[in-house]
Structure 1
Amino acid sequence: MRYVKWTLIALIVLVVGGFIHYSLPQRDIVRVVGTNTERTTIPSNRAIFWSAGDPTRDVQYIQTVQANGKTMEYRNEDTGWGWPPYFKFDTSSLYTEATDAVSNKANPEWYSISHYGWRSELLSIFPNAIGIKPVAGPEDTSFPWVNTIILAFLGVLLLLIWRMWVQFRERTIDPLVEDAGDAWDAVDDRADALKDGARNKAQGIKNWFGSLRK
């Protein structure tokens, strides 16, 4: 039973943590090497990893290369009023900015691309770019204020929920459990009393028959 409990807790933490990591903004320092629009058939996981729309549609992509030489591709789609709540409606403007940012290896220009989501060739999913801005170089760093504020807010919210649950349990559940335990003890005592009474009656009857036999 203990293993089932901890397995369930680990599964919940994994799902919630994955959901938060997917939804929070991330930042990559890259060199933009190209942009294009492709007719794409969205896979069956579009409800989770793609924006709402027709299953077959034109999707804008931004191709980049990181400082270590690894490639990274982003899709460029509006989020609208859906989840995550980035309220992105400037897909065309972002595409123009990314196209203007293209540079080659001999004369690289580095940009910070803000995005959410994951890149997986197996699942055919791409992170969705939500912003682009020039930076001094691939070593540029900045403190993730947005993520820190969001995670701090979630931490406070979880703490409040936990405290509410503890108070609810102490005021409502624990007394009910104690009352149920007391009632069960009373039932046990009553059953023992009835058992003793029945035993005494049986012994009395036995003694009466013994006296008749004598």
Structure 2
Amino acid sequence: MAYIKWAFIAIFWSLVAAFFHYTLPQVDIVRITDTYEKRIDPGENRWFWASADVGSDGTVPNRDVFFIQTRRVGDDVMVYRNEDTGWGWPPYFKFDTSNLQAEAADLRSTAAAPQYVALKHYGWRNEFFTIFPNAVSVRPVDGPDAPKGIPWLNIVILTLFAAFVYAVWVRWRRFRRARIDPKLEELQDSWEATEDAVAERGNRLWRWLGFGGGR
């Protein structure tokens, strides 16, 4: 039972960590190589695509999605999608997809004359499932070694979450000590008393059958 308990705890916190890693914003220092638009038909990976842009027909099964092609400092390729989040989840309230695409297109550069940018995004890149992180904002920086900045929003959210978890844990311990532990002790005492009563009746029956003074 202990292994099952700790396995459940490990799975739960792994899911929590994955949720925050996917949802919270991250910043990459990249060089934009191209921007384009592509018709997308979301399938089994539809959970990793945002909804249709605000003001458009959300009932259409496919739609055009903006993409931003980049190269990171190590020269590896990273492709981002550029979709509105609107009023949905995650709550970035992003409505400026077209403006962001125009900014990204204006910041394109070549390897001979690189212009690096800090691209804020959320989500994951998975080539097997065709999943792309969603770009949130872009701004030019001085070079590939430019600081990404302190992630104040992430720090605040994770601190508040840790405080919430600690508060729930403290109240649960108090509730358990005040309500559950006494009941468990009563059940244990009752069970032990029942065992003693059963044993005493067995001894009486044993003596009644003439087998001496008990077992």
What is the TM-score when the length of structure 2 is the normalising length? 0.89
Aligned to 2:51: 52
Tell me which of 106, 122, 139 is aligned to 1:133: 139
Tell me which of 155, 167, 175 is aligned to 2:174: 167
Measure the CA separation in 1 of the matches of 2:103 and 2:25. 19
Check whether the contact 2:123–2:134 (CA below 8 A) recurs between aligned residues: yes
Paired residues, number: 204
Tell me which of 163, 186, 210 is aligned to 1:203: 210
Is 1:13 matched up with 2:20?
A: no
**Secondary structure of residue in 1 paired with 2:138:** strand
Measure the CA separation in 1 of the matches of 2:90 and 2:122. 9
Is 1:105 matched up with 2:111?
A: yes
Q: What's the CA shift for 1:169?
A: 1.1
Check whether the contact 2:28–2:118 (CA below 8 A) recurs between aligned residues: yes
Greater Rg over alpha carbons, structure: 1
Measure the CA separation in 1 of the matches of 2:117 and 2:201. 84
Q: Which runs of 5+ in 1 are unaligned?
A: 207-214
Check whether the contact 1:78–1:88 (CA below 8 A) recurs between aligned residues: yes
- Structure holding more helix per residue: 1
Q: What's the CA shift for 1:131?
A: 0.7
Q: What's the CA shift for 1:195?
A: 1.7
Aligned to 2:56: none
Measure the CA separation in 2 of the matches of 1:158 and 1:4. 22
Check whether the contact 2:51–2:84 (CA below 8 A) recurs between aligned residues: no
Measure the CA separation in 2 of the matches of 1:103 and 1:42. 31
The residue type equivalent to 2:35 in the other structure is T
Measure the CA separation in 2 of the matches of 1:175 and 1:42. 54
Cα-to-partner distance string for 1:12-44 (whole Å, 9 max, x where unaligned): 222111111000100001111111110112231
Written as runs of structure 1 = structure 2, the 5 A alignment for 1:39-118 is: 39-47=39-47, 49-53=48-52, 54-118=60-124
Is 1:124 matched up with 2:130?
A: yes
Q: What's the CA shift for 1:183?
A: 0.9
The residue type equivalent to 1:95 in the other structure is Q
Aligned to 2:185: 178
**Secondary structure of residue in 1 paired with 2:102:** helix
Q: What's the CA shift for 1:192?
A: 1.9
CA RMSD, 1 decimal: 1.6
The residue type equivalent to 2:109 in the other structure is S
Aligned to 1:210: none
What is the TM-score when the length of structure 1 is the normalising length? 0.90
